[in-house]
Amino acid sequence: MKALFEYINKISKKTIPAFCILLIILLGLIDVITGYEVSFSIFYLLPVMIVSWYSQKYYAVILSILSALTWLMADLHAGHIYPHFMIPVWNGMMRLGFFLIVSFALLTIRNLLEKERSFARVDFLTGVMNSRAFSEMAKTEIDRTNRFKRPLTIAYVDIDNFKDINDTFGHNIGDKLLQSMARTIKKIFEQSISSQGLVEMNLPYCFQKPMREMLRRQLPKFKSIF
């Protein structure tokens, strides 16, 4: 099982639904071969769990329906005879309901974990990356710089006499100043990165001289905050 999830982590997220569909088909064939005497229905839950954890909600619903239908068809083709035709239909609906409950529960847990992971990487006051997220991102960019042999520019911004602002106007004003600085920096970075075609990068790798010129052009925007 561990080897299976390690393999899933390596493949593209776009191919996971197709992988799970093939897994359901394989389970259906094995189920027919082994016969209805051998219970095999729990294994149909595995592809539902995989697609719920690694893919999107509508894929989880589709795979839940497909798993329930495959189990029903395999059960009937294996020669299982019921005294009434509604019995297998009812059993199939119960399994579908079980698959949907499990998939929605996994989707909810995954979303909660992603939110917690996001909160752990964002400063609650300013909404920018905290030191932990910055360290992770900086390591990635440094490795990229070493790999491509390109310079890396890091700009350090300091607010002079910030303690005096807090003491004179109060911490609420100081917090608003920090938030304004964060918004301005985010806006400047988005504009400058977009103009260089590096929209998704927080520490763009570029030549030092163009970066210095860009920062000089943006300095008046910082002064306007005060």
* Angstrom distance (rounded) from CA 70 to CA 17: 16
Encoded amino acid at 173, one letter: I
The tens digit of pLDDT for each residue in 69-89 reads 998 888 888 777 888 888 888
Three-state secondary structure call for residue 55:
coil
pLDDT at 201 over 50: no
Encoded amino acid at 210, one letter: P
Among the listed residues 96, 92, 100, the one whose alpha carbon sits nearest the alpha carbon of residue 75: 92
Token pair 């905050």 is found at 225
How many other C-beta atoms can be found within 10 angstroms of the C-beta atom of residue 149?
7
- pTM of the prediction? 0.58
Categorize the per-residue pLDDT at 191 as very low, low, confident or very high, splitting at 50, 70 and 90. very low
Categorize the per-residue pLDDT at 194 as very low, low, confident or very high, splitting at 50, 70 and 90. very low
Encoded amino acid at 187, one letter: K
E strand or H helix that includes residue 196: none
Encoded amino acid at 70, one letter: T
pLDDT at residue 192, as a whole number: 45
* Angstrom distance (rounded) from CA 149 to CA 46: 45
Token pair 């163009």 is found at 210
pLDDT at residue 160, as a whole number: 77
